[in-house]
Chains A and B, each alone.
Chain A
């Protein structure tokens, strides 16, 4: 199991958390795990929607002290 890479996209609006996550995942290997940190509530919907469509794997999603911690694994 490879380590979890944190993508810190807190307090960013452009290009935004999902774009940051996709950017990192494009360069990753299958099996790599990412934890996206986002203060944008929209991420809790946007990220799972993209993960589902792109056929990756949602690992977990929780909001802690105003920050979304969304874990995703690259599946293909």
Chain B
């Protein structure tokens, strides 16, 4: 039995490690071979980029060698997949190698595509790459006052990031003693300050209290970096001095190039997590088109389901679990308070009041993540 995992991010790494342990006997006996193909030899803790943008973490804290995170029984290769031949259970990699599989797991994640919005790359600061987060921090430090506009494009990973960034901007300028010189304006695509009603109900009065202005039903159409104006699809425009953007995201380039799904999102059964029309192909994390948050926690919970099902299929011939849509997200409410959002396909998120304790748990989790991806937590 050849199991091939494509992607060494949160989902692929957790899945590989948990599967390696669940199938340790079968791997030792040579009955199962587990291979993980990744585009990089490094693993990044992506949520840390937000802290880098606000000067609370340095980039070196966000990385580990991928090999150091993986069970030694996993055949790990830095050789990204360039071609998927699902009809013959085969992939081809950048180096020209061909890998046959019996079970394929696609965990190729998502990427930012700011180029899809005219002027966005030139006009905005972002925190979705190491380079961008460092630059955003520099721009924030240089800023002396004026209008800071936040814009949110869709789709994007980590749906609570816009709210967190808004609160952190407030606290950042407050800590520098120039909050009274900064007008914070938040722009959001739907008709409330967050897509999830309970998050919106909590965040709106918090925005009011912090003096964060907001405009809803604002879908970013174009940025004019020369004149510092943002334009919405809905026909409004706003002048800014500093623009902070949540850029639009797309699925992995290789998914796009292989026409596995529109926009790079792979059509996936929301319960079984199999690719539609391909029972031996699983999809987890940001790569799916299922309507849940694109976050590490969704990838984590999905990976656990797929691990149990693959292991059970091998041991008993029957899958045992379905993904219930479970997601858990911390929400930073500023420098020293946080809350969290936990929900599934049936149960609505219920937000607890932000507290210092949850913030410190999030700070601890920034380190505990490395035990999570090892499949231990």
Count of chain B residues with a beta carbon within 8 Å of a chain A beta carbon: 28
A42/B197 contact (C-beta < 8 A), A8-B291, A9-B291 known: yes
Bound-complex Cα distance A27 to B191 (A): 20
Contact assessment for B154 and A13 in the assembled complex, using a CB-CB cutoff below 8 Å: no
For residue A66, which residues in chain B have a CB less than 8 angstroms away from its CB? none
Closest to B198 in A: A13
Which chain A residue lies CB-closest to B250?
A27
Q: Tell me, rounded to whole Å, the shortest Cβ–Cβ distance linking B276 to chain A.
A: 12
Complex formed: what's the CA distance from A7 to B159 in Å?
19
- The bracket for how many chain A residues form the interface is 20 to 34
Helix, strand, loop or mixed for chain B's interface? loop
Contact A11 B349 (CB under 8 A): no
A54 within 8 A of B: yes
Residue numbers in A under 8 Å from B191 (CB-CB): 18, 46, 49-50
Q: Indicate whether A4 reaches chain B with its CB closer than 8 angstroms.
A: no
Return the chain A residue nearest B156 by Cβ: A15
Write out, one digit per residue, whether chain B residues 341-358 have a CB within 8 A of any chain A CB (1) or not (0).
101011011000000000
Question: Shortest distance in angstroms between B287's beta carbon and chain A's nearest beta carbon?
Answer: 15
Closest chain A residue, CB of each to CB of B346: A11
Contact A53 B325 (CB under 8 A): no
* In the complex, chain B residues whose CB is within 8 Å of the CB of A40: 197
Residues of B close to A54: CB separation below 8 A: 217, 219, 233-234
Binding site for A on B (CB under 8 A): 154-155, 159, 189-191, 195-197, 199, 217, 219, 233-235, 262-263, 291-293, 325, 327, 341, 343, 345-346, 348-349
